[in-house]
Structure 1
Amino acid sequence: MKKILTMLFVSALGGALTLGAYKTFIEKEENNTPLANQEQAFTFPVSNTTNAKFIADTEVSFVSAAEKTVHTVVHVKNVTINSRQMTFEDLFFGRQPQRSQVGSGSGVIISPDGYIITNNHVIAGSRELSVTLNNNKTYDAKIIGADDKTDIALIKIDPEEELPFTTFGDSDQAKIGEWVLAVGNPFNLTSTVTAGIISAKSRDLSGLQNQSFIQTDAAVNPGNSGGALVNTNGDLIGINTAITSQTGSYIGYSFAVPSNIARKVVQDIMEYGNVQHGILGVTGGSVSAGYAEKFGLETTEGFYIEEVEEDSGADMAGLKSGDVIQKIENIKIKKFTDLKGFLNSKSPNDVVNVTVLRDGKQKTFSVTLLKNQTLAVPIIGIIKNAKPEDLRKYKTKNGVKISRLTTNKSYLSYWISNGVKEGDIITSINNSKVNSIEDVQEVLKNRHPNELLRIELINSKGEKERYNFR
């Protein structure tokens, strides 16, 4: 007992000594802190109030955009019929082995009467197509049209009542760093909302510079294809299309077709039944350090025009080889995908202002975009619509003109050895007369993969020649 009392006394004494030392030395020093520093400290709340107001003003809420969008995004189910491996029983009974395969994706309602935009790859090869709304109602759907180049398709359902729909925004005005929402049906789940920012624009995943995606870091997974990418106002600025992944699932970035391109494709499908592309009529490439050094350019950004197509809008407006396109309308052109993305949203007969760098000075030209008049056919080369004087020269009433022979050495040597030259007129392919590149496209589209390619042409001597290719 005496030991315990002794320990308590020592503890109390130690505490008293510590408190006394604090009061005598440390607290005295703190009270001697210069007044100026104290007054300076009191100025911080003013700044903090300003910062708090700034944060409040710039705080983003996704609730309104999500509420506007989630009921306009649908689940698309696609049943396709695929061939399976033939068994002995199939061979014995003469059966064609087939099996049905179910795929799924998303779509976005764009009109109250049931028009829905989605990806071409979501509905490709469908034998049966159905759409399930966010309220779990399911409808049969029909394909109105599709464009494989942009991977956009338009489908239609017939609902009993008007549907909620999403309005198109202007994807050209979307900014890098802007918040966006991705809404879709990943992994066969009902409408799911994820958020991110726009990481980049005018992205090309093919390496062929024929794509112009919006890149975001909003999580997108299998099943999101065809879903909506919206801004914080709930405006549609893209159709979610692809991810880059080694696993097939989201690992950081996703890609969407810009809404201006998607809207143009849908409008063309509804009005013409196919997509009408407005062509500038130039060939070249993105300006780089190598381009700048090779051609003595004063810039490392833009699109360098190597060649202007004869009779194109660019040719008639006065664009020349050596010009560097830096801007179209209010869109800066830093690389080819910027140019490609803008043109994909335009139609024939649209007039655009093109600003180029020529001899160190900027000049602006008003260019009328024309319908595409050329087509690349690997075996032949570049063909184009023939003008009346071309047909008169070759004494024929129909045909398309060989504008440039193929760069494939084996085919090129074959044509040269047979006396075929640029300017010769192709009058028939697979026994079908051709009057335009659209006719050629149609013949090639309907050709069976194992069918011979039979080309009939008139050479510069006026002689009719026939060639067969497998």
Structure 2
Amino acid sequence: MTRLFQPASSVRQVRLPSWFALLVASILPLLLIQSASAQSLPDFTGLVEENSAAVVNISTVSEPDPRTQQTPFSERELEQMPDFFRHFFGGPQSPFGGGSAQPRRSMGSGFIVSEDGYVLTNNHVIEGADEVMVRLNDRRELPATVVGTDPRSDMAVLKIEDDEPLPVVRIGQSSELKPGQWVFAIGSPFGFDYTVTSGIVSATGRSLPTENYVPFIQTDVAINPGNSGGPLFNMDGEVVGINSQIYTRSGGFMGVSFAIPIDDAMNVFRQLRDGGSVARGWLGVLIQEVNRDLAESFGLSRPRGALVAEVMPDSPAAQAGLQAGDIVLAYEGEAIERSADLPPKVGRTPVGDQVDLTVLRQGKERTIEVEIGRLPEEEGAGTTPGAPSGSAGGPLGMQVEPLPDQLASRLDIAGGVLVTEVGQGPAFQAGIRRNDVITELNRQAISGIEDFRAAVSNLPSDRAVSVRIIREGRATYLVMKP
């Protein structure tokens, strides 16, 4: 009978080469690490099954406007044409327009936030739509009513109704998000319903050029056309954002996407649901970033805060005594590290609330109490862009003349000097250009030529100084190194 098992003592020992033992010793830890890494990757299966029902597909139809259909002639020219030519070039059967235009259709995503049928999505998903339909993942299709929109935050609130119960998402807290956390999105990119993509939070509190009042969440979750308005979930299955924008040079996803924080979105939702409009806090200042040179000129040890370049007349800031040249270092005790930190905090503050601003003025910190106003349609606490260089004489490489009364009245300022020429020198390097109005130099107010000459004669030679200018009606600070 053949033995299948043998005692260990009777088994012949095989001596392995030393190089083989070294190879095994080096590879085994890597295999163990890979196995541990695979086990630590998140599993989204249960989360997707739990939350897909409350995610919806949104389709819109916009009827064409006959008045805007393209023709090679203007409306006036068409009216002056004989009937035959007008029919050919602009009539209903015209090959250049008319009745041949088709309704425009678009698609996006959204999610249900309440059992009575309120749906959140992006404003750009339903903007200009004549018909909005919401489709659930059980294939129910329901017409939607637009409750309200807020283009500033790119949000829209819809309402649907049905006899059957409606699934809802669970709302999380975007304020608790931290870079590096896993998140995932459910949406309909390119019309592929209920597509799931995942990634991590890349950053929070991002300010984009198109909107200063929304501190966007940046992720690397794949977002494409059709994902707009869909939810961004955390690993607890809670909605923490609304997927809204991507950064792209190709038109498709390139690894950078942005979501509206759900804390801000729910604030907008409640205001639109209850009142039909959104009220945001308003300070009434134009601000700019504090770079290294500006920090040096204002006596800061490092760049931080929001530099007030201009205080708008009759604004809450003006009434509280805020001044151009103040640097806002804290808002209600919360540090302002970058100028982009200030507008979202102001915008979230209820109108009429009293808040404390910690500002740096003339090298000393002080607290100013401000009563927050309501943001007008075209106003804000935005960041002014940096100034370009201009194109002669004087110690700073520029020439100035008294500010004409007419220009002072148009700019609504009490004094300053008008830059008439800029050549090579400190002024050119600072970015001062012809027709700028200088109202402050080295923290000294400039009301006229004599003030300007006195300030120039006292300029230090060992450090940078600030220059406040008004260009095209906007004030901004530049840095000059004499």
Is the shorter-chain TM-score for this pair beyond 0.5, marking a shared fold?
yes
Segments of structure 2 that go 5 or more residues without pairing to the other structure are: 1-12, 72-85, 381-403, 414-482
TM-score after normalising by structure 2: 0.62
Measured against aligned partners, the alpha-carbon deviations of 1:181-234 in whole angstroms (never above 9, x if no partner) come to: 112111112212211111122334436756532110011111000001121122
Q: Which residue number in structure 2 is paired with residue 166 of structure 1?
A: 169
Residue 90 of structure 2 aligns with which residue? 91
C-alpha distance in 2 between matches for 1:160 and 1:259? 28
Distance 2:90 2:314 in 1: 58
Question: Which residue of structure 2 lines up, in the alignment, with residue 74 of structure 1?
Answer: 56
Q: Offset at 1:107?
A: 0.8
Match for residue 284 of structure 1?
287
The code of the aligned residue for 1:256 comes to A
2: CA distance, partners of 1:26 / 1:162: 70
**Aligned twin of 2:137:** 134
Contact 1:261–1:341 under 8 Å retained in 2: no
1:437-464 Cα deviation digits (max 9, x unpaired): xxxxxxxxxxxxxxxxxxxxxxxxxxxx
* Length-normalised TM-score, structure 1: 0.63
Larger radius of gyration: 1
Taking structure 1 as reference, are residues 195 and 326 closer, same or farther at Cα in structure 2, changes over 3 Å only?
farther
Read off the aligned partner of 2:251 and give its amino acid letter: G
CA RMSD of aligned residues (A): 4.1
Which residue of the partner structure matches residue 273 of structure 1?
Answer: 276
Change in Cα spacing, 1:356 to 1:243, as seen in structure 2 (3 Å) is same
The amino acid across from 1:160 in the alignment is D
Partner Cα distance (1:317, 1:196) in 2: 45
* Cα 1:57/1:302, change in 2 over 3 Å: farther
- Of 327, 333, 344, which aligns to 1:341? 344
Contact between 1:286 and 1:304, CA under 8 Å: does it hold in 2?
Answer: yes
User: How far did residue 58 of structure 1 move?
Assistant: 7.5
Preserved contact between residue 180 and residue 230 of structure 1 (Cα < 8 Å): yes
Aligned to 1:102: 105
Deviation at 1:82, TM superposition (A): 3.2
**Aligned partners of 2:296 and 2:302 also within 8 Å:** no
Of 123, 126, 147, which aligns to 2:126?
A: 123
Percentage identity across aligned positions?
A: 35
Aligned with residue 206 of structure 2, among 195, 203, 206: 203
> Counterpart of 2:270 in 1: which secondary structure?
helix
Q: How big is the shift at 1:59?
A: 6.2
Are 1:370 and 2:373 matched, yes or no? yes
Which residue of structure 2 aligns with residue 299 of structure 1? 302
Match of 1:155 among 141, 153, 158: 158
- Counterparts of 1:181 and 1:69 in 2: how far apart (Å)? 11
Q: State the Cα deviation string for residues 365-403 of structure 1 (Å, max 9, x = none).
A: 5543211358569xxxxxxxxxxxxxxxxxxxxxxxxxx
CA distance in 2: counterparts of 1:214 and 1:221, whole angstroms: 16
Which deviates more, 137-146 or 304-313?
304-313
Which residue identity is paired with 2:271?
D
Task: Determine the C-alpha separation between the residues in 2 that align with 1:282 and 1:252.
Answer: 35
For residues 120 and 371 of structure 1, do their structure 2 counterparts lie closer, same or farther at Cα, with a shift above 3 Å needed?
Answer: same
Taking the TM superposition and a 5 Å limit, the aligned residue runs for 1:381-400 are none
Deviations 1:236-285 (A, max 9, x none): 22111111222222121111112222222222212222111111233221
CA contact (8 A) 1:286 1:334 kept: no
Task: Tell me if structure 2 keeps the 8 A contact 1:303–1:324.
Answer: yes
Partner of 1:241: 244
Instruction: Show the 5 A alignment for 1:423-438.
Output: none
The residue type paired with residue 219 of structure 1 is: A
Question: Does the C-alpha gap of structure 1 residues 63 and 333 become closer, same or farther in structure 2, counting only changes over 3 Å?
Answer: farther
Choose from 22, 44, 52 the match for 1:62. 44
Moved more, 111-120 or 208-217: 208-217
Aligned position for 1:324: 327
SS of corresponding position for 1:118: strand
User: Which of residues 138, 148, 163 in structure 2 aligns to 1:145?
Assistant: 148
What is the DSSP-based 3-state SS (H/G/I as helix, E as strand, rest coil) of the residue aligned with 1:251? coil
User: Which whole-Å CA distance do the structure 1 matches of 2:373 and 2:294 have between them?
Assistant: 28
CA contact under 8 A between 2:204 and 2:218: conserved in structure 1? yes
2-structure distance, mates of 1:66, 1:352: 42
2:205 alignment partner, SS class: strand
CA distance in 2, matches of 1:321, 1:65: 51
**Alpha carbons of 1:320 and 1:245: their partners in 2 closer, same or farther (altered >3 Å)?**
same
In the other structure, the counterpart of 2:195 is 192
Residue aligning to 2:116? 113
Any conservation in 1 of the 2:299–2:363 contact (CA below 8 Å)? no
Q: In the superposition, relative to structure 1, how do residues 207 and 242 fare at CA in structure 2: closer, same or farther (>3 Å)?
A: closer
Aligned-partner Cα distance in 2 for 1:325–1:315:
14
Q: Return the letter of the residue paired with 2:60.
A: N
Q: Indicate conservation of the 8 Å contact 1:108/1:116, yes or no.
A: yes
The residue aligned with 1:35 is: none
Tell me: CA distance 1:177–1:316, structure 2 relative to 1, closer, same or farther (3 Å): farther
CA distance in 1, matches of 2:93, 2:363: 73
Change (3 A) 1:358 1:105: same
Provide, for residues 400-443 of structure 1, a one-character-per-residue CA deviation record: whole Å limited to 9, x for no partner. Answer: xxxxxxxxxxxxx9x949x87849xxxxxxxxxxxxxxxxxxxx
Q: How many residue pairs are counted as aligned between the two chains?
A: 350
Q: Secondary structure at the match of 1:71?
A: helix
